[in-house]
Amino acid sequence: TEVAPGAVHVPGWLDEAAQRRLLAACRAWARPPAGLRTVRMPSGGEMSVRTVCLGWHWFPYGYARTVVDGDGAPVKPFPAWLDELARAAVARAYGRPAGPEAYDIALVNFYDADAKMGLHRDADEKSTAPVVSLSLGDTCVFRFGNTEGRSRPWTDVELHSGDLFVFGGPSRLAYHGVPRILPGTAPAPLGLTGRLNITLRVSGLTR
């Protein structure tokens, strides 16, 4: 379903086996060093979401090769299979192959029942390649806004475990956020309390 130009939602793209494999990988990535961390904003507040990065380390607002606002460790590598997964996702959503640039960043966000993400846009990448989003565990309410600012119009969409969302073209710089998690809605076989979101991105940066 195309929610807006370049914003395509593919419910249930990952089957149960694929969800289990991705969850197991996320659990390994969450371990130190360079594991799960709480992001502190320049204003001093902490994000309720916890995050682990692969390939490039995101901090507000930039990218580095070490965990500059955490344990100082080198960021974990971005595996080739995630680039392949991102390309398969773009091809599925748009019905045409992804561009030539390699996907080289994963941001994995962990949401407990009370976590939220305010409306923001992702403008720290130096590439216009689409962002690929994969959801695991509890359902969330995802708010897709406009490119002008944080006010209406917006569209609220439920994202379920296994859903794919691709944001490219005019939607790449749209405001978006996660106002609510629906606790206890994760598929039982997954064995996950809370929600995980994996975004795959092209940095446009050189190592």
Asked whether position 122 contacts Fe ion by CB under 5 A, the answer is yes
**Interface region with ligand MD3, contact rule CB under 6 A, candidates 93-101, 150-158, 169-177, 184-192:** 169-177
Decide whether 166 or 190 has the Cβ nearer to Fe ion: 166
Asked whether position 172 contacts ligand MD3 by CB under 6 A, the answer is yes
Q: How many Cβ atoms sit within 10 Å of the Cβ of residue 110?
A: 19
Q: How many Cβ atoms sit within 10 Å of the Cβ of residue 161?
A: 23
Decide whether 69 or 122 has the Cβ nearer to Fe ion: 122
The entry of Fe ion, ligand MD3, none that residue 139 binds, CB within 5 to 8 Å by partner kind: none
Q: How many residues bind ligand MD3 (CB under 6 A)?
A: 16
Sign of CA dihedral 16, 19, 24, 27: negative
Q: How many Cβ atoms sit within 10 Å of the Cβ of residue 156?
A: 10
DSSP secondary structure string, 35-71? --EEEEPTTS-EEEEEEEEESSEEETTEEESB-TTTT
Over the window 97 to 136, marking each residue x when it contacts ligand MD3 by CB under 6 A and - when it does not, the resulting string is: ----------x-x-------x----x--------x-x---
